[in-house]
């Protein structure tokens, strides 16, 4: 009988790993370094070795393991091949095949943002839901779309790249994708800082933000302290994210948005700025879509990877 599964979240610096029972309880959690040298050729063998050690340590038989799920920072096709993962030094890599051969356990692989979305649906902010869009407001904006319990991967693995929805024709600065006016230029942690600096330069209102380092955290701390200028910045942030997520909902009509990433640590206050603009711009059929905050933090990836193999 299958009692256990492993979830592996491969990052550019560390590989996060988790041992789970099939109900979603994490039994153990650990990390190993990501050895990216020599085109990352050691990464999969290192993961295999670490899993085998854990099986010994816990006296678990291979036959008791449903599988190993792996989240990769890059596009992954349906057969579990990473197409390219710059941060790992990988070009095309047959992740599922290679790791299955090393472990003799079924392996499934997916894009890390999509896999994290699956984790939030399984055990986090989206628990009990079946069709969600997870939005990660970090350095950029990542997205993961789950429809009827399945990841929407997209034809080239670029499904859910909602950070690059075009929202503003007037934008003069370029996004990391070389476009102009992408959602992540306004709603990511970097985007909030950009909006704040613009506002501070264009306004002469007094603000606590004038005397400190500008971060997404300092902006939303100031919002909570009712700083007027900070509230104007939050209003712009809400305008872009609300409008962008309304567009996403007009396409996939999810039951729930789960908002995570560094910016979401500010708490429910961000939803208070996003939701009014969402309701203003969304197609009426998606007016009842709910918003919640992500609950698993950096562990969403290992949860989702584990869920990947449980189907």
**Contact set with its own copies (CB under 8 A):** 75, 131, 143, 145, 147, 152-162, 164-166, 177-179, 243, 246-248, 250-255, 281, 283-286, 288-289
How far is it, in rounded angstroms, from Cα 244 to Cα 225?
A: 27
173 vs 288, beta carbon nearer its own copies: 288
Count of H helices and E strands in the chain?
10, 10
Where residue 110 falls (left for φ over 0; alpha for ψ -120 to 50; beta otherwise) is beta
225 vs 287, beta carbon nearer its own copies: 287
Q: Quote the least distance from Cβ 304 to its own copies, whole Å.
A: 19
Taking a C-beta distance cutoff of 8 angstroms, is the pair 17, 8 a contact?
A: yes
Token pair of 165 as six digits = 């929805």
Q: For tokens 């969304």, name the residue.
A: 282
Q: Quote the least distance from Cβ 153 to its own copies, whole Å.
A: 8
Q: Quote the least distance from Cβ 127 to its own copies, whole Å.
A: 16
11 vs 179, beta carbon nearer its own copies: 179
71 vs 157, beta carbon nearer its own copies: 157
How far is it, in rounded angstroms, from Cα 43 to Cα 62?
A: 21
31 vs 255, beta carbon nearer its own copies: 255
- Rounding to the nearest 10 degrees, give the CA dihedral for residues 96, 46, 260, 209: -140
Q: Quote the least distance from Cβ 55 to its own copies, whole Å.
A: 33
Q: Quote the least distance from Cβ 307 to its own copies, whole Å.
A: 18
How far is it, in rounded angstroms, from Cα 244 to Cα 281?
A: 9
């Amino acid at each position: 009988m299958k009692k256990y599964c492993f979830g592996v979240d491969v990052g550019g610096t560390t590989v996060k790993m988790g041992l789970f029972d099939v109900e979603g309880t994490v039994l153990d959690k650990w990390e190993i370094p990501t050895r990216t040298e020599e085109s990352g050729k050691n990464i999969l063998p290192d993961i295999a070795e670490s899993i085998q050690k854990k099986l010994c340590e816990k006296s678990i038989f291979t036959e008791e393991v449903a599988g190993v799920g792996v989240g990769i920072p890059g596009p992954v096709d349906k057969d579990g091949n990473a197409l390219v993962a710059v941060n790992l030094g990988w070009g095309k890599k047959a992740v599922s095949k290679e790791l299955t051969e090393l472990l003799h356990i079924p392996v499934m692989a997916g894009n890390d943002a999509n896999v994290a979305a699956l984790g939030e649906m399984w055990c986090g902010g989206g628990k009990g839901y079946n069709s969600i869009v997870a939005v990660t407001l970090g350095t950029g904006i990542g997205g993961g779309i789950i429809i009827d319990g399945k990841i929407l991967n997209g034809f080239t693995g670029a499904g859910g790249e909602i950070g690059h929805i075009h929202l503003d024709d007037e934008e003069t600065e370029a996004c990391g994708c070389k476009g102009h006016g992408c959602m992540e230029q306004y709603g990511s942690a970097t985007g909030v800082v950009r909006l704040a600096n613009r506002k501070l330069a264009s306004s002469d209102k007094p603000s606590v933000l004038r005397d400190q380092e500008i971060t997404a955290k300092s902006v939303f701390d100031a919002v909570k302290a009712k700083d007027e200028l900070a509230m104007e910045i939050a209003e712009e942030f809400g305008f872009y994210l609300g409008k962008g997520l309304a567009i996403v909902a007009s396409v996939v009509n999810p039951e729930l948005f789960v908002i995570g990433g560094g910016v979401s640590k500010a708490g429910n206050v961000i939803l208070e700025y996003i939701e009014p603009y969402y309701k203003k711009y969304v197609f009426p059929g998606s007016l009842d879509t709910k918003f919640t905050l992500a609950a698993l933090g950096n562990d969403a990836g290992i949860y989702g990877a584990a869920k990947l193999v449980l189907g």
